[in-house]
Structure 1
Amino acid sequence: MARRQEDQVDGRANCRLDAAALPLHQLSLFCALLIAATLRLSVLTHDVRFHPDEALYATYARRMARYGDLLLSDAPLDKPPLGLLVNALSFSALGEHEFTARLPAAFFSLLGVAASYRLARRLLSQRAALIVLAILTLSPFDLAFSGSAFHDPLLTLCCLLCALLISYERPFLAGIFAACAIATKQSALQFLPIYLLIGAMALNKLRWRNLLRFSAPILTVSLALVAWNAARAAPVDFWTLGVINPGALRLIRSDEVLPRLARWLSLYSESVGFAPLLLIGAYGVWRAFKAASLAAASILLSACGLLGTLLAYWLLAFPLYDRYLLPLVPLTAFVIGYGMAAWRRLAIVAALMLMLPFTLRTVGNAHSIGIQSEFYRGVDQLAAHINALDGAPLVYDHWLSWELRYYLGDSPRAQLVWYPSAEWLARDVCHLPTPSYFAAPEAAAWRWLAVLNAVGARLQPIARTPLVLYQITCEQP
């Protein structure tokens, strides 16, 4: 693969830099990164309660930070520990708050924007790289997860840095970030090959010694993960749970085909907010088919990675989790940026302006992408009411276990008991110790109340936050 000259672009996209243009380019880069940082800080400061998975990760990280429990032997972990360790370090350094749990993701997201720009500058052109930078700065998807405690921003950053360092023939450093990606989430194994191939497009030739340098950190970290997993001595190791929990071990059923397709396309469109902009990516792929250059080959690889991953998510029974798409957002920006690079400047600005309403919506509601944050509103107040109860109350729950376990604190007096259905709880409710309580979202509790009333249990609301805490009393036969 021949190395491309750094500023080569084709057609009207040819935009050579000279000494006079350089300050304007640097100013544009600085302003874009400043806007990216401002938007991510705005999202980070939202007063939003944890999503259940965020609460679970934060609970584990708190144990690591407070007690040095790095093994979490009794926890059903389904992922490697690096993301949890990062959250634990944030807790130790800055205190245990929602803000500090989410702060690392904002930092990783901003670094990811910068790394995406540099990778696009290396593989495509300066013009395309600036467009990629603008797209990721405004991306509702990237913004939403920059204000979360999920580990996907760290995974995405590691993949980007791995590709970037490979493109500059820095195999050992690239191997370190590849190892960090694997130590963050097992899904790194599906994204790293895509990013590695894209980064390798910039190399003159592949050298065996570089392959060894790249592999050394990965092997070292893999052995460390094996040792950590063995030391945990958990009943089921995290690799096995990581395969079982997503449920992607089967093809989807015929009745799932259209609903899953619609859902994934709806979530994927949030990468740019204004869904028709994705058609520009198709135009970019068409341009790449007609060209014979490093940039074109990189775009075709990005498109293949996008299409292959989306097909796997659709046709295999992966959960419909929006965060699974986050590592695809930079690739989407690459193909759209390449397509837009052939346009006139005014057309590029107009297209980017179409993203603004969706960007502002996300800034106004940080968890607007696939997460119903209003469902968990008031869970911290509910936990405070439970902690104020006398004695060691028994609290039954179906919806809020992971969130309550975080907000109740490390050593709650209350005992949380999860039940899978109203019928199961009705069978036991009047035969278990008292006092007992039932925590539920008010809109979802009516069926449970009816079933429990039918067996003689009476539920009196004693706190609304707007989640409801009911006190249970049973009629004597």
Structure 2
Amino acid sequence: MPSTYVGFRWRHFLYILIVLIGAALRIQALTVDVRFTPDEALFASFARDASLRGEWLMPGDLDKPPLTLYANALSMSLFAAHTNANGVLDFTPRQGEFAARLPAALASIIQIALMIALARALYPHDDRVALWTGIFTALSPFIIAYSATALTDGLMLPFGVLAMLYAAKGRPLYAGIALALAFAAKPQGLYFAPLCIVLMLIVSTPNTPVGTRYSASAADTGLPGPYKHILLLIAPTLITLPLISLWDSLRPNSPDLWALAAANNNPARLIRSSELIPRFLDWFQPTYIFLGAGTVILLAAIPLMIAFRIRRDARTHHAAVDLVLVTFVLIFYLVHWLIAFNTYDRYLLIAAPALILLCARSGLWLWRIIGHYFGVTLKAEVALVGAALVLALFGAGINAARAYTPYNDERLRYVGIIDLAAELNALPTATIIYDHWLGWELRFYMGAWADKRRVYFPTPNTLAQAAALDPDLAPRYFPMPAHQAPEVWLDALREAGFASTRIYAQGGFVIYRLERAARES
């Protein structure tokens, strides 16, 4: 049997093994008993109302395109919805959590295979890059922590990687369709567009002179080849944008999606000088451990590798790809550091594919440099260190799958939300619930058929004034997270004529019953 065939079989066996290990970790993350973050609860509520109540146009305050929400709603319909004892279509909170997170978990498994294929397309002469890219993607605690969520990033990211893959293979239309799907999952998917364009231009036909690369494909359009391919890449998104706007215009009693997205996500300013260091640390801290203990070494080696490539073999295909990826990462970090975007660590998911590819490349470069300059003995020792770091990364991946990680730790704050919602649901019909902190969370966890009146007020004084003027005789309750200070709210209510009694305190939440104080005769 030819040795090349044996090598081919072993490579693909390793690729499959890597995907299976990554799948096991993501399935573990899917089944861990953690609650939704506020954003997850909001998106899952829209999906649930579509699945259970038939609200497929998703009316309400929504600032994201609907692709992820429809995927989650379909999953809820298939794997969670059932007719309960009252003959009503419903599901329990945990069933809803599982179904809403399932599409992202499956997409994250597929992303491992896509990253391996992308590495092979970008670096076709070095299969080791694909191997290490697969290992890093499968075991990254950062990616695992966000693999099983109801967030819109879950579908945006694999579609973005798919767009990069098709761009690297010189398939601009397919790349454009994948990019449009990434955009339809989350508008930030457009960050992949410039990366796809540049990769398509320099990678798709690396052995053809730049000046003649697209001449054959341009004959039937009259456009120069590169422009035709760029048009094919961006056209699907240009078509998707008005389609989403048309869908948005059909949603009843809903603000404009794009206007709300701009209001919620527009930073509107550069950062102040006092924010330079804190924001740098906010963005760097999630990065330096995103591949476990060895991340710092791999990240530090990237600029050394780039400098070496520029000096020794700047004209090579691999060096050009390295330079494109590192430029993308640097621009991405600078934009998010110097413009006052929210410092949510999940925003770094967009940079993760490029970072993983660069770390795989820098690790292999270090291996070659050590072998060349320091000999076989030290190279063997470094191999042992590398194996230890992979084992450490595997351990970090297991911890992330079990939610023992600093990434996405906001979900741990809501451990008692199901019991809180059950307590509120047990109150009499039409009970008034003054809900300042937990609007999105209680919207999901109280269920699609909740019969209570939840009311939001922004300040203690507005709550007290409105409560005093409301003649409704229904019972009134005030739930809140236990770590919030209740005094200013309860004092305002007391001045408005309400006595408060704490009736519930567990799982990180408390409930106060509010009663009008007896008036003196």
TM score, norm. by length of structure 1: 0.90
Matching residue within 393, 397, 416 for 1:359 = 397
8 Å contact from structure 1 (residues 43, 366) kept in 2: no
Deviations for 1:125-183, whole angstroms, at most 9, x for unmatched residues?
21111111111111111101112111212111111111111222223222211111121
Matching residue within 296, 309, 319 for 1:288 = 309
8 Å contact from structure 2 (residues 29, 401) kept in 1: yes
Letter in 2 for 1:476: A
Unaligned runs of 5+ in 1: 1-16
8 Å contact from structure 1 (residues 163, 174) kept in 2: yes
8 Å contact from structure 1 (residues 58, 101) kept in 2: yes
Deviations for 1:406-455, whole angstroms, at most 9, x for unmatched residues?
11111211111122233332333444334100111112143345534652
Q: Quick check: which has more Rg, 1 or 2? A: 2
Distance 1:285 1:459 in 2: 65
Tell me whether 1:166 sits opposite 2:187 in the alignment.
no
Partner of 2:484: 444
Partner of 1:115: 114
Structure 1 pair 191–212 and aligned structure 2 pair: CA distance change class (3 A): closer
Matches within 5 A, 1:220-259: 220-232=239-251, 236-259=255-278
Matching residue within 62, 69, 81 for 1:84 = 69
Of the structure 1 ranges 58-67 and 209-218, higher mean CA displacement relative to structure 2 is found in 209-218
Partner of 2:513: 471
Distance 2:405 2:38 in 1: 13
Tell me whether 1:309 sits opposite 2:329 in the alignment.
no
8 Å contact from structure 1 (residues 161, 174) kept in 2: yes
Letter in 1 for 2:310: F
Distance 1:390 1:405 in 2: 17
Partner of 2:54: 68
Partner of 1:462: 503
SS in 2 for 1:318: coil
Deviations for 1:355-385, whole angstroms, at most 9, x for unmatched residues?
2443232122167414322321111111111
Distance 1:300 1:234 in 2: 48
Partner of 1:385: 423
Matching residue within 398, 404, 411 for 2:436 = 398
Distance 1:105 1:355 in 2: 22
The alignment yields a C-alpha RMSD, in angstroms, of 2.2
8 Å contact from structure 1 (residues 113, 133) kept in 2: yes
Structure 1 pair 329–468 and aligned structure 2 pair: CA distance change class (3 A): same
Q: CA deviation at 1:301?
A: 1.0
Q: CA deviation at 1:232?
A: 2.8
Deviations for 1:223-243, whole angstroms, at most 9, x for unmatched residues?
322321232366642122222
Structure 1 pair 220–232 and aligned structure 2 pair: CA distance change class (3 A): same
Partner of 1:372: 410
Partner of 1:3: none
Matching residue within 475, 479, 483 for 1:435 = 475
Matching residue within 26, 31, 34 for 1:48 = 34
Deviations for 1:201-253, whole angstroms, at most 9, x for unmatched residues?
32223444544544443343233223212323666421222222023221122
Structure 1 pair 95–199 and aligned structure 2 pair: CA distance change class (3 A): farther
Structure 1 pair 447–273 and aligned structure 2 pair: CA distance change class (3 A): farther
Deviations for 1:310-362, whole angstroms, at most 9, x for unmatched residues?
11111111112122111211111111111111315445433433424432321
Matching residue within 447, 460, 467 for 1:422 = 460
Distance 1:248 1:219 in 2: 24
8 Å contact from structure 1 (residues 160, 195) kept in 2: no
Letter in 2 for 1:336: C
Distance 2:133 2:305 in 1: 13
Partner of 2:371: none
SS in 2 for 1:104: helix
Letter in 2 for 1:257: L
Identity, % of aligned positions: 32
Unaligned runs of 5+ in 2: 82-95, 206-212, 218-224, 368-378
8 Å contact from structure 2 (residues 172, 200) kept in 1: no
Of the structure 1 ranges 130-139 and 225-234, higher mean CA displacement relative to structure 2 is found in 225-234
Structure 1 pair 418–280 and aligned structure 2 pair: CA distance change class (3 A): farther
8 Å contact from structure 2 (residues 269, 339) kept in 1: yes
Structure 1 pair 427–285 and aligned structure 2 pair: CA distance change class (3 A): farther
8 Å contact from structure 1 (residues 382, 464) kept in 2: no
Distance 1:347 1:377 in 2: 38
SS in 2 for 1:389: coil
